[in-house]
């Protein structure tokens, strides 16, 4: 598949990013009726959306399709997907609200930091800690969305294990970002 073919197909990185955004209202609506059937569908929709997060970056790098739209919308789509899903899990009473506040608060703070650093003409690429954090978030959310036991496995407990890991990595990576760029704050005019 060539770059031109990819641009014309549904696998274009920007289109994959938009799929994640479209998945958000579907997840929200289905989570309003948390039956075993709907939670199963929601978990599948979230899983497919999470896969597009990996694929859009991979295709963008492989076929040199990096765009300004993608640079802005890809992380925004990720945050929207994760934040809205965590909020709906809290709405159902399946996870503690304070954990969601810390995770979403970290995401907002890092987004602000990235904007500040972009104005300074510096690069704030994702670190390995940030990537692990995202992996733990996805690993937590999928079993939490399934919610009900399957094949004798309590998926809620599995999801909570990964959620605590995601919480720790969220705080740790957030501190790391601010620590790495503290010199800019010292030099900045407020």
Helices (DSSP H) in 63-127: which residue ranges? 68-91, 97-119
Rg of the chain over Cα atoms, rounded to whole angstroms, equals 18
Q: Could you give the number of structural domains in the chain?
A: 1
pTM value is: 0.88
- Tokens standing for residue 188: 């900045």
Q: Which DSSP string corresponds to 22-81?
A: HHHHHHHHHHTS--HHHHHHHHHHHHHHHHHHHHHHHHHHHTT---HHHHHHHHHHHHHH
Q: Under 8 Å CB-to-CB from 112, ≥6 apart: which residues?
A: none
Which range of residues forms the domain containing residue 21? Answer: 3-187
The CATH number given to whatever domain includes residue 138 is 1.20.120.1760
pLDDT tens by residue, the chain, 190 residues: 455 554 556 667 888 889 999 999 999 999 999 999 999 999 999 999 999 888 887 777 787 777 777 777 888 899 999 999 999 999 999 999 999 999 999 999 988 888 787 777 776 667 789 889 999 999 999 999 999 999 999 999 999 999 999 999 999 999 998 888 877 777 666 5
Residue 39 pLDDT = 97
* 75 Cβ contact partners less than 8 Å away, ≥ 6 residues apart: 111, 114
């Amino acid at each position: 598949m060539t770059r031109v073919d990819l641009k014309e197909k549904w696998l274009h990185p920007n289109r994959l990013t938009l799929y994640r955004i479209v998945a958000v209202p579907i997840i929200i609506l289905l989570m309003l009726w948390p039956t075993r059937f709907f939670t199963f569908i929601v978990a599948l929709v979230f899983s497919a959306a999470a896969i597009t997060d990996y694929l859009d970056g991979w295709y963008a790098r492989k076929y040199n399709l990096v765009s300004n739209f993608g640079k802005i919308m890809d992380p925004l789509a990720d945050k929207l997907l994760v934040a809205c899903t965590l909020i709906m899990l809290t709405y159902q009473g399946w996870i503690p609200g304070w954990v969601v506040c810390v995770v979403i608060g970290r995401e907002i703070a890092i987004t602000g930091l990235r904007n500040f650093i972009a104005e300074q003409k510096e690069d704030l690429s994702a670190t390995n800690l940030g990537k692990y954090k995202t992996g733990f978030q996805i690993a937590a959310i999928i079993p939490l969305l399934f919610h009900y036991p399957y094949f004798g496995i309590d998926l809620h407990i599995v999801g909570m294990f990964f959620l605590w890991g995601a919480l720790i990595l969220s705080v740790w990576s957030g501190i790391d970002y601010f620590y790495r760029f503290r010199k800019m704050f010292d030099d900045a005019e407020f």
